[in-house]
Structure 1
Amino acid sequence: MKPFLLITTRDEDDVAAEEHALFCRLTGLLPEDLEWRRADRAPIGHVDFGRYSGIILAGSPFTVSEPVEKKTATELRVERELAELLDEVVRRDAPFLGICYGIGTIGAHQGARVDRQYGETSQAVRISLSDEGKADPLFRELPGSFDAFVGHKEAISEVPDSIAVLASSPTCPVQAFRVGRNVYATQFHPELDAAAFTSRVRAYANHGYFEPHELDQIIARVDAADVGAAHMVLGRFVEEYLSSYTRRPAVESV
């Protein structure tokens, strides 16, 4: 089979390793079938699209909407490299799934407005599929509404015509979208279960996603959340594109 490519940007070794392990577990892929490139450590480099079944861009402490002068040299390099990669992804309509940071990155690439208007504190929220989402090949097997973990400072507030909105939440109007037929993004985290989300919020307790004194309350709510349906996004992505690089038939708009 052709492997999938995972691109991550977390500079904490333990958090990064846990993230790769989570993607392996929830996709069912062996580590050797999920090639891992840490863009925080080295340039992404050339991507041979014919080699991969699909590409996944994981979440990140990086933000799209932060002023340029506040970004590190590494973050600016990663942005440039991702913009170049997305030029080719969109041109080829290649299988691609961007998560959290990925939705802002792809959104900005497509001309969406990414700002702080619809940020959500670390929590489980109710996600609802749009009519487009209910008809989409990747999302149509999910329930019409389900819970998923979120935690983001920025989000998309205005979408261009090239973006088909697939899901929303009460406090964030764009929780998932599709560009073309094969390029997807989610604001929520389909790779996180309760234990992993607890670990993640502990790691980022002082990064501005929530007030540090709220940590225990957040963890208590996390333990009660059932986000199993959100995990289906990863499974469906792998099922759709495993071992092949073929474009699906067009998806009719609803």
Structure 2
Amino acid sequence: MKRILVIQSRERKETVEAEQEEYCRVVEPLARVDFLSALDEKLAWTDPDEVLKEYGGIIIGGSGDFDLHGGRFEKDPARLMAMIILSRLRMFVKYAFAEELPVFGVCFGHQLIAQMHGGNVTRDETQTKTGTFEVCRTEEGKRDLLFKGLPDAFLVQYAHKDSVMALPQGAVLLATGPMCRFGALRYGKATYTTQFHPELSAERAIRKLNRDTCGYMPEGIADAASIVRESPEASQLIPAWIERVVT
């Protein structure tokens, strides 16, 4: 059976467990899933082969606790920790690219990989958003292995403060929108990243946002149900990646 490693960048027990539940629901029908914390200081971060050799693919998940910018002061602990995570995962991503090991970066994972390749991640108020929004496939997206079966426009779940500001080196733009210029990217043949959360159904997005303590909920919104809609097409992406890309 295929094996997937999910790398988490979360600190609080309840958000760690909630994210694990989401990925188990999405991945386990197709592959075995294991979890690793990017906060683990004892892990051999400089020896990615030792950690990754048993896996057919890696998912780098989101983070409500840390931001590469997030409108924080430069020496804010949450921003400093994000830079430590960036440093730790750099070797893993470099190894994955060299070995053509499939990677799927989600939200913070999307930003980390973009930052490693010159994507310039920062806080941009015109792109910061929470809730369900529409993205559109680019011409490249219409030909892509994962995106070619999707509608030209489809709904996705967002909750982010930072955004990728420039197309990263080696990346191909697959999906974009008026409030998210770099919604989905592909690097090479095996690495995909999305600023949105394809692992979240509407029900689970509402549950996640209603317990939010990281400042994602828009001002004046008491119940996330008012800003979240179903996103069935986006939910196909991770299963399609496992089936078509992961070996």
Measure how far apart 1:35 and its partner are.
0.8
Q: Name the counterpart of 1:63.
A: 67
| SS across alignment from 2:222 | helix
| 1:38–1:44 Cα contact (<8 Å) kept | no
Give me the whole-angstrom Cα distance separating, in 2, the residues matched to 1:113 and 1:70. 19
Using the size of structure 1 for normalisation, the TM-score is 0.85
Q: Name the counterpart of 1:180.
A: 188
- Determine if the alignment matches structure 1 residue 38 to structure 2 residue 37: yes
The structure 1 segments of at least 4 consecutive aligned residues displaced by more than 4 Å after TM superposition are: 41-44
Measure how far apart 1:47 and its partner are.
3.8
| SS across alignment from 2:165 | strand
Give me the whole-angstrom Cα distance separating, in 2, the residues matched to 1:77 and 1:161. 22
- Determine if the alignment matches structure 1 residue 139 to structure 2 residue 142: no
Give me the whole-angstrom Cα distance separating, in 2, the residues matched to 1:68 and 1:87. 26
* Letter of the 1:111 counterpart: G
Give me the whole-angstrom Cα distance separating, in 1, the residues matched to 2:191 and 2:140. 15
CA RMSD, 1 decimal: 2.1
Measure how far apart 1:96 and its partner are.
0.1
Q: Name the counterpart of 2:132.
A: 124
Give me the whole-angstrom Cα distance separating, in 2, the residues matched to 1:29 and 1:17. 19
Give me the whole-angstrom Cα distance separating, in 2, the residues matched to 1:97 and 1:122. 21
Give me the whole-angstrom Cα distance separating, in 2, the residues matched to 1:43 and 1:148. 36
Aligned to 1:54, which of 53, 57, 60? 57
| 2:190–2:245 Cα contact (<8 Å) kept | no
Aligned to 1:93, which of 100, 104, 110? 100
Q: Name the counterpart of 2:234.
A: 230
| SS across alignment from 2:109 | helix
Structure 1 alignment gaps of length 5 or more:
245-254
Q: Name the counterpart of 2:227.
A: 221
| 1:11–1:41 Cα contact (<8 Å) kept | no
Measure how far apart 1:92 and its partner are.
2.4
Q: Name the counterpart of 2:11.
A: 11
Measure how far apart 1:211 and its partner are.
3.9
Measure how far apart 1:212 and its partner are.
5.0
* Letter of the 2:9 counterpart: T
Structure 2 alignment gaps of length 5 or more:
none
| Residue-by-residue CA offset, 1:188-245 (whole Å, 9 max, x unaligned) | 10000122111221232x42323453232x32232xx120110111111110234x2x
Q: Which has the higher helix share?
A: 1
Do the aligned partners of residues 35 and 226 (structure 1) sit closer, same or farther apart at CA in structure 2, a change above 3 Å counting? same
Give me the whole-angstrom Cα distance separating, in 2, the residues matched to 1:14 and 1:208. 16
Do the aligned partners of residues 127 and 158 (structure 1) sit closer, same or farther apart at CA in structure 2, a change above 3 Å counting? same
Give me the whole-angstrom Cα distance separating, in 2, the residues matched to 1:82 and 1:203. 28
Do the aligned partners of residues 77 and 157 (structure 1) sit closer, same or farther apart at CA in structure 2, a change above 3 Å counting? closer
Q: Name the counterpart of 1:250.
A: none
Do the aligned partners of residues 173 and 76 (structure 1) sit closer, same or farther apart at CA in structure 2, a change above 3 Å counting? closer
Using the size of structure 2 for normalisation, the TM-score is 0.87
| 2:185–2:193 Cα contact (<8 Å) kept | yes
Measure how far apart 1:114 and its partner are.
1.2
Q: Percent identity?
A: 26
